[in-house]
Amino acid sequence: MCGRLSQYHGIHEFVAALSMPNPLVNNAGDQPFERYNAAPTTQLAIFHQEGDYLHADMVRWGWRPHWAKDRAAPINARVEKVAHGPFFRAIWPHRAIIAINNWFEWVDEGGPKKQPYLIRHRDQTPILCAAIGQYPNADHEPGVHDGFVIITADSAGGMVDIHDRRPVALRPELAREWLDPATPNERAEQMVLLQGEPTETFEWFKVGRTVGNVRNHGHELIRPLD
């Protein structure tokens, strides 16, 4: 996953996709986000659950532990290592979902510049990506070290031709189980290792190269290339 995504619906469209009946504590606002070209360090809406409440907060994309001051903040965590490696140990129990509309990858097709592709659900419903992070909760006020990472896995099928890694996307019922604090960590690990959505759920197509500039943010960035 190359580090660019879209989150342009509003929080209530994402709640509807999650189909979660819990009362919502909404710290993300009611307006559409209209982030068509979100890059690392962008504040994005994520969901997490505390008790019976679903929380929506704006959190920075990217996180690193306080002791890793000599490296950039990762934006992704490999599913094969995230549950047991020391780097993400502190936030592995802090599960979240980031709902996105699509993400982008760049492919070397032999031209002078790589060709960007947009990847989305075939039915264009929001993609519920497994994430972990440090974010505001009952025991933690918002802080400068808050952030989240998206869990990624090996691509399969034709998506390998676009990129070798992709976000772990969960069906709504699994996303709700992932968010539930009562779900054991061992069960959560098995979900992201084995139960991510299959390649057949997605479609991808070329888009214009203007998406490569993070200063470009319009709806035209997600249109298929003629």
Which residues are identified as catalytic?
2, 105
Burial class (CB in 10 A: 0-12, 13-18, 19+), 96: buried
Strands 102-107 and 95-100 turn out to be unpaired
Element (H, E) at 18: helix 11-18
Q: How many residues in total does the chain contain?
A: 226
Rg of the chain on CA atoms, in Å: 17
Q: How far is CA 116 from CA 147, 177, 200, in A?
A: 26, 33, 20
Query: Facing residues of 77 across strands?
Result: 151
